[in-house]
Amino acid sequence: MMSRVITISREFGSGGREIGYRLAQKLGIPFYDKEIITIAAEDSNIAEEVFRANDEIIHIEKKEKSHHFSPYSSLYEIPVSDQTFFAQSKILKQLAGKGPCVIVGRCSDVILEDSFDIFICASMKAKIKRLMALEPDMTESALKSQIKEIDEKRRDYYQFYTGNVWGRPQNYDICLNSDRVGIEQCVEFVANLVYER
Amino acid sequence: MMSRVITISREFGSGGREIGYRLAQKLGIPFYDKEIITIAAEDSNIAEEVFRANDEIIHIEKKEKSHHFSPYSSLYEIPVSDQTFFAQSKILKQLAGKGPCVIVGRCSDVILEDSFDIFICASMKAKIKRLMALEPDMTESALKSQIKEIDEKRRDYYQFYTGNVWGRPQNYDICLNSDRVGIEQCVEFVANLVYER
């Protein structure tokens, strides 16, 4: 069993979270997704609601600005969204330092060194079908809009903080199309690779 | 063992061809790369040299034109590069019809229905290192230019004939970064998945 942290980047509705959760269970290692926010809020003096409002979201007015900071700028000059990013990054490094685990999103593939990075995608049709089972009251077109909107936010957030293009296969160890490969096979597939290394 | 054809799309220098070859050997199934050209030349009245000159290349003057043809256009009106594309496509379908095999490039992931589609990429550094071992007389910068040029041609060719974006994870079942995962592990990884299905 390899001693590396596994990061999961995922399109909204692709089942990436489920794959990560089942993989962590199979490997008997901790799983972190929204839990990161709670831990970071407890560790910082920022409210959990503020973390939620900035979770993988870059607000439009920030998009154009640089993500480089002067080392002399005071905490008061740093936008709250950057404060939550840095507080989360600190927690990600602490969690990774404790040993193997599965971490979902939040630029963890770039923040953590030597992590095994996975990107999960799926066809729009499959993502809508998956979400419809969870949100039966939403129409197909409303779900499509929601998928596009959330993925655009994730893409912007990733680009803003890492300078990389979200979902480009060169950024990850592997990309899996959950729709074609199947959720169960994705879990098996990665677990096999992980056991073999 | 699944009875599907495996297609390999690959960045130049990523080791995709080697992964495909070793995978075919491991699974005991045929492997087709340049062989497709020879078979297509034998099957058509087009010389093998013409196939080679148009192999995964769209010549610049064609880029802007549509890839849709009128059903009434005669063979004489179809550019030779389209003739080689269609002749190759026919052979790809014939080979796939015979049973499981590994096919490299030539838009096979789109031409063949129900194929298991893999994209192999790697970092520029790793691709240069790999090619340097094969072409010790070439400089690093010459190899970098060659990699960019060949991949641009493959991208254009794929876009022209399929309308899809080359190397976009949503097009494939899986994408593997051979540099991070390792050539041997890529082979094992896919073989495990294939055996399990």
Give pLDDT tens digits for A46-55.
888 888 887 7
Residue B67: its pLDDT value, please?
Answer: 52
**Model confidence at A4: pLDDT above 90:** no
Q: What is the DSSP letter of A165?
A: P
Residue of A nearest to B121 (CA): A170
Write the residue in B119, B167, B180 that is nearest to A173 by C-beta: B180
CB contact under 8 A, A174 and B177: yes
State the pairing for strand pair A174-177/B6-10.
unpaired
Write the residue in A123, A185, A188 that is nearest to B170 by C-beta: A123
**Bridge-partner residues for B116, per DSSP?**
B6
Q: A interface mutation test: which of B11, B19, B127, B177 has the most A CBs within 10 A?
A: B177
Tens of pLDDT, residues B135-166: 889 999 999 999 999 999 999 999 998 999 99
Tens of pLDDT, residues B97-127: 999 999 999 899 999 988 999 999 999 999 9
Residue of B nearest to A179 (CA): B173
Residue B122: its pLDDT value, please?
Answer: 97
Give the A window 84-123 contacts with B, CB below 8 Å. Answer: 117, 119, 121-123
Radius of gyration, CA atoms only, chain A:
17
| Cβ(B31)–Cβ(B100) below 8 Å | no
Q: Does B174 touch chain A (CB under 8 A)?
A: yes
Residue B118: its pLDDT value, please?
Answer: 96
Residue A52: its pLDDT value, please?
Answer: 81
Tens of pLDDT, residues B31-74: 998 888 888 888 888 888 888 887 777 765 555 555 544 555 55
Q: Which residue has the higher pLDDT, B57 or A107?
A: A107
**Model confidence at B20: pLDDT above 70:** yes
Residue of A nearest to B114 (CA): A180
Residue B76: its pLDDT value, please?
Answer: 58
Write the residue in A123, A170, A181 that is nearest to B174 by C-beta: A181
Write the residue in B172, B177, B188 that is nearest to A173 by C-beta: B177
Backbone angles phi, psi at B31, to 5 degrees: -125, 130
State the pairing for strand pair A116-121/A174-177.
parallel
Q: How many CA atoms lie within 13 A of A116 on its CB side?
A: 23
Written as one letter, the residue type at A86 is F
B183 band by pLDDT with thresholds 50, 70 and 90: very high
Q: Does A12 touch chain B (CB under 8 A)?
A: no
| Cβ(B161)–Cβ(B104) below 8 Å | no
- Vertex B148: Cα angle to B143 and B149 (nearest 5): 95
State the pairing for strand pair B116-121/B174-177.
parallel
**Model confidence at B194: pLDDT above 80:** no
Written as one letter, the residue type at B138 is M
Residue A27: its pLDDT value, please?
Answer: 93
Q: Does A161 touch chain B (CB under 8 A)?
A: no
The pTM score is 0.88
Chain A positions in Cβ-Cβ contact with residue B12 (cut-off 8 Å): none
Q: Does A126 touch chain B (CB under 8 A)?
A: no
Residue B79: its pLDDT value, please?
Answer: 79
Total beta-carbon pairs less than 8 A apart between chain A and chain B? 71
Residue of A nearest to B172 (CA): A177
Tens of pLDDT, residues A110-167: 999 889 999 999 999 999 999 999 888 999 999 999 999 999 999 998 999 899 999 9
Residue B180: its pLDDT value, please?
Answer: 94
B27 band by pLDDT with thresholds 50, 70 and 90: very high
B2 band by pLDDT with thresholds 50, 70 and 90: low
- Residue B51 to residue A26: CA distance in whole angstroms: 49
Q: Does A174 touch chain B (CB under 8 A)?
A: yes
**Model confidence at B9: pLDDT above 60:** yes
Element (H, E) at A120: strand A116-121
Residue B65: its pLDDT value, please?
Answer: 54
Chain B positions in Cβ-Cβ contact with residue A5 (cut-off 8 Å): none
CA atoms B18, B146, B127, A155: torsion sign: negative
Write the residue in A122, A172, A181 that is nearest to B177 by C-beta: A172
CB contact under 8 A, A185 and B197: yes
CB contact under 8 A, B196 and A181: no
Residue A72 is encoded by which pair of tokens? 């002399």
Radius of gyration, CA atoms only, chain B:
17
Residue B48 is encoded by which pair of tokens? 């093998």
Residue A136: its pLDDT value, please?
Answer: 87
**Model confidence at A65: pLDDT above 70:** no
**Model confidence at B12: pLDDT above 90:** yes
Residue B54: its pLDDT value, please?
Answer: 79
Residue B62: its pLDDT value, please?
Answer: 58
Residue A136 is encoded by which pair of tokens? 């039966």
